[in-house]
């Protein structure tokens, strides 16, 4: 953990089995990125050199980007690698660590709420796509079911919310151990 940023959280220490699941899903997302790149290259080559584009590449890639984000988000949260601006937080961490931990707890709580709201909004469409066999694309030309993509969003939101809660608990535990520069609790 010494090569991680000071606030980075070791996934196996925080998430336990959730960290393994998050890492596995992030790996699937990474492989998916590679496959999507190959598909795009094949489409470009087919379109420009063989006058034979691959049908549905734009639709697949458009849905894939969203799915990949939700496959990888819980691992990013658990590892402390979620993109954010943290200059002020680092300043507080060096001088007022309890304030920095408080902000991390608040950030985790807000993150969990946001992911639960997305989950709440995503659940009914996922159930509907399962019930109706919904697809996207043009019938007779190219279609693909929406359920796998909607399911990934639901699963990703649930895991991201749980990951945010676990990271918040981690920072709550750290809160009690911090002392400010004067040598006593802030």
pTM for the model stands at 0.82
Higher pLDDT, 17 or 154: 154
Within a domain: 181: no
In degrees, rounded to 5, the angle at the alpha carbon of residue 77 between the alpha carbons of residues 75 and 81 is: 90
pLDDT of res. 6: 46
And the tokens for 2?
């010494």
Is the per-residue pLDDT at 185 higher than 70? Answer: no
3-state secondary structure (DSSP) of residue 177: coil
Higher pLDDT, 175 or 168: 168
Within a domain: 54: yes
Q: How many distinct structural domains can be found in the chain?
A: 1
Q: Give the range of the structural domain holding residue 115, as residue numbers without chain letter.
A: 11-175
Higher pLDDT, 173 or 18: 18
Q: How many residues does the chain have?
A: 186
pLDDT of res. 186: 40
Within a domain: 6: no
Within a domain: 84: yes
Within a domain: 5: no
pLDDT of res. 167: 93
Distance CA 160, CA 140 (A): 37
| CA distances in angstroms from 86 to 6, 101, 103, 170, listed in the order given | 12, 13, 11, 18
Least confident segment among 43-57, 104-118, 144-158, 163-177: 163-177
Within a domain: 186: no
Within a domain: 170: yes
Is the per-residue pLDDT at 98 higher than 90? Answer: no
Within a domain: 154: yes
């Amino acid at each position: 953990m010494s090569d991680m940023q000071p606030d980075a959280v070791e996934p196996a220490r925080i998430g336990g089995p959730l960290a393994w699941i998050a890492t596995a899903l992030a790996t699937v997302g990474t492989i998916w990125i590679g496959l999507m790149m190959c598909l795009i290259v094949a489409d470009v080559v087919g379109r420009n050199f063989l006058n034979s584009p691959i049908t549905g590449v734009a639709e697949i890639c458009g849905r894939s980007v969203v799915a990949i984000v939700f496959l990888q988000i819980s691992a990013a949260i658990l590892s402390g690698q979620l993109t954010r601006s943290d200059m002020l937080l680092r300043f507080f961490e060096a001088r007022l660590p309890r304030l920095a931990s408080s902000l991390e707890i608040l950030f985790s709580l807000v993150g969990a709420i946001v992911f639960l709201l997305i989950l709440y909004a995503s659940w009914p469409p996922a159930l509907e796509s399962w019930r109706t066999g919904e697809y996207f694309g043009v019938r007779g030309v190219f279609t693909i079911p929406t359920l796998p993509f909607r399911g990934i969003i639901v699963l990703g939101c649930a895991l991201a919310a749980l990951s945010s809660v676990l990271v918040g608990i981690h920072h709550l535990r750290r809160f009690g151990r911090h002392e400010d520069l004067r040598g006593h609790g802030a």
